[in-house]
């Protein structure tokens, strides 16, 4: 199949990956209501078609935190990408750089910060979870500074992990009985392209960035035990001041859905926020990102940079998010599936596809400069 869209890449990834990994990417928490709501709410945003407005020249470029982007897109932090494709985080960062967009390395990456730094000329952003051991946090932030990460994305909506039923069933987050482990092994063996690319050529498979904090977690389920024990549920806005002491550059707080939290982020001195429900992987029943976005952008959009993620599947969705007040979108599954399906070239192709879709959306809504996108582009503002 020649992939043309997000759902094509999702299908290719489904065929290529062992079930456990596909479900890890595809799934959400509990009944997956918020996961579905993210895309349904996105689809419900209607753009206003305009004609006869000379759209022969379009400008898709923008700037966030002083960094020029060829379009308002950032590859967001996605854990374990090095298990989807060989040295996946490095491949994705390279594809992003070639496309002129930014990428953000997850704390839970397989490739360490240093490896990704080596892979690109322009350093990637870094995403941080708050771990109880502040000494280790200091060390992590020093490594990110050393790797010249220009932006720190501080994810605050995973103080406790939401349960993803698919990950329980697959054995990713809970140990499996013996025969289920055998079945999982057979499933792995029946995906030879992935086996060759990742298991044979893509070693080592430890968590590159967290390696020294992890006491040799054997298998993924032990890793989740470690997360439950070590992520810090006591964090408050005062901890942002602590992070600020360690980090001279811009700090973006990821996981804001509420206007009051957005105002607190401003008061606490954040440089940006990501309106996000973690891709429907945390609080099931939370509002869709795209539904939360307009009120948050109205409340704080003039005081910090508002990014959003959740349900962005195409360049048309990027246009929708911009019209509702986002400065740029972060992608999650929209780059994870292309990476799993085709490696770095898959990510590169998806980004070019999105660029084309965004350009078309701009032309047909009469928007010639992406930086000027606002609610006048909506059929029902």
Q: How far is the CB of 268 from ligand FNR (least distance, A)?
A: 18
How many residues comprise the chain?
A: 381
Among 77, 88, 171, 202, binds ligand FNR (CB under 6 A): 77
Q: How far is the CB of 80 from ligand FNR (least distance, A)?
A: 7
**Is 76 a binder of ligand FNR (CB under 6 A)?**
yes
> What number of chain residues touch ligand FNR (CB under 6 A)?
25
User: What interhelical angle do 333-365 and 88-99 show, nearest 10?
Assistant: 20
Beta carbon nearer to ligand FNR, 254 or 349: 254
- Say if residues 378 and 324 touch (Cβ distance below 8 Å): yes
Q: How far is the CB of 278 from ligand FNR (least distance, A)?
A: 5
How far is it, in rounded angstroms, from Cα 104 to Cα 123?
A: 9
Element containing residue 126 per DSSP (H, E): strand 125-128
Beta carbon nearer to ligand FNR, 265 or 312: 312
Beta carbon nearer to ligand FNR, 69 or 334: 334
Q: Which value, in Å, is the radius of gyration of the alpha carbons in the chain?
A: 20
Beta carbon nearer to ligand FNR, 62 or 276: 276
By beta carbon distance, the residue nearest ligand FNR is: 332
Assess whether the previous peptide bond of 204 is cis (omega < 30° from 0). yes
Q: Across the strands, what pairs with 75?
A: 103, 331
Among 279, 294, 338, 346, binds ligand FNR (CB under 6 A): 279
Give the SS3 label for residue 147. coil
CA 29, chain centre distance (Å): 16
Scanning residues 205 to 234, which ones bind ligand FNR (CB under 6 A)? none
Beta carbon nearer to ligand FNR, 109 or 365: 109
Q: 183: which 2 tokens?
A: 């079945």
DSSP states of 250-289: -EEEEEE--HHHHHHHHHTT-SEEEE--GGGTSSTTPPPH
Q: How far is the CB of 368 from ligand FNR (least distance, A)?
A: 27
Say which of 191, 205, 216, 278 is annotated catalytic.
278
Beta carbon nearer to ligand FNR, 107 or 314: 107
Token pair 């590859």 in the structure block, residue: 75
Among 3, 18, 72, 79, binds ligand FNR (CB under 6 A): 79
Q: How far is the CB of 193 from ligand FNR (least distance, A)?
A: 20
Q: How far is the CB of 104 from ligand FNR (least distance, A)?
A: 8
Q: What are phi and psi of 137, to 5 degrees?
A: -60, -45
Scanning residues 95 to 134, which ones bind ligand FNR (CB under 6 A)? 106-108, 127
Q: How far is the CB of 305 from ligand FNR (least distance, A)?
A: 16
191 included as an active-site residue: no
Token pair 């977690």 in the structure block, residue: 217
| Pairing label, strands 272-275, 328-331 | unpaired
Question: What CA–CA distances, in Å, run from 223 to 110, 111, 214?
Answer: 13, 16, 8
Q: What are phi and psi of 286, to 5 degrees?
A: -70, 160
- Residue 308-337 contact track with ligand FNR, rule CB under 6 A, x = bound: -xxxx-------------------xxx-x-
Scanning residues 130 to 169, which ones bind ligand FNR (CB under 6 A)? 155
The Cβ of residue 241 has, within 10 Å, a number of other Cβ atoms equal to 11
**Is 276 a binder of ligand FNR (CB under 6 A)?**
yes
**Is 82 a binder of ligand FNR (CB under 6 A)?**
no
Among 64, 73, 78, 288, binds ligand FNR (CB under 6 A): 78
**Is 270 a binder of ligand FNR (CB under 6 A)?**
no
Nearest to 129 by CA among 255, 217, 216, 248: 255
**Is 282 a binder of ligand FNR (CB under 6 A)?**
no
Beta strands, E only, the chain: 62-64, 67-69, 73-75, 102-105, 125-128, 152-155, 251-256, 272-275, 305-308, 328-331
HSE-CB of 62 using CA atoms within 13 angstroms: 24
Kindly list the residues in this chain that would bind ligand FNR in the complex (CB under 6 A). 24-25, 38, 76-79, 106-108, 127, 155, 254, 276, 278-279, 281, 309-312, 332-334, 336
Name the residues annotated as catalytic: 278
């Amino acid at each position: 199949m020649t992939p043309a869209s997000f759902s094509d890449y999702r299908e290719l990834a489904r065929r290529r990956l062992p079930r456990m990994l596909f479900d890890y990417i595809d799934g959400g928490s509990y009944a997956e209501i918020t996961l579905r709501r993210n895309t349904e709410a996105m689809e419900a945003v209607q753009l206003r078609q305009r004609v006869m407005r000379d759209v022969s020249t379009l400008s898709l470029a923008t700037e966030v935190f002083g960094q020029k982007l060829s379009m308002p897109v950032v590859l967001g932090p996605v854990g374990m990408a090095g298990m989807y494709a060989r040295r996946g985080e490095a491949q994705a960062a390279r594809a992003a750089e070639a496309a002129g967009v930014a990428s953000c390395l997850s704390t839970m990456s397989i490739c360490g910060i240093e490896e990704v730094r080596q892979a690109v000329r322009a350093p990637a952003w870094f995403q941080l979870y708050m771990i109880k051991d502040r000494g280790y946090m200091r060390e992590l932030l020093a490594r990110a500074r050393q790797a010249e990460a220009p932006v720190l994305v501080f994810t605050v909506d995973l103080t406790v992990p939401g349960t993803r039923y698919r990950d329980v069933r697959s054995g990713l987050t809970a140990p499996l009985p013996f025969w289920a482990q055998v079945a999982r092994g057979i499933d792995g063996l029946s995906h030879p392209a992935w086996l060759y690319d990742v298991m044979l050529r893509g070693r080592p498979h430890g968590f590159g960035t967290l390696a020294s904090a992890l006491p040799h977690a054997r298998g993924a389920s032990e890793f989740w035990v470690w997360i439950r024990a070590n992520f810090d549920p006591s964090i408050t806005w005062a901890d942002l001041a602590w992070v600020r002491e360690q980090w001279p550059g811009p700090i973006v707080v990821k996981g804001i859905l509420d206007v009051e939290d957005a105002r607190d982020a401003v008061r606490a001195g954040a440089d940006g926020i990501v309106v996000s429900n973690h891709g429907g992987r945390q609080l099931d029943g939370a509002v869709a990102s795209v539904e939360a976005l307009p009120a948050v952008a109205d409340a704080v959009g003039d005081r910090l940079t508002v990014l959003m993620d959740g349900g962005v599947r195409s360049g048309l969705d990027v246009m929708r998010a911009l019209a509702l007040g986002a400065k740029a979108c972060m992608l999650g599954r929209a780059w994870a599936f292309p990476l799993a399906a085709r490696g770095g070239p898959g990510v590169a192709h998806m980004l070019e596809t999105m660029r084309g879709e965004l350009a078309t959306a701009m032309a047909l809504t009469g928007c010639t400069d992406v930086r000027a996108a606002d609610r006048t582009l909506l059929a029902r503002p």
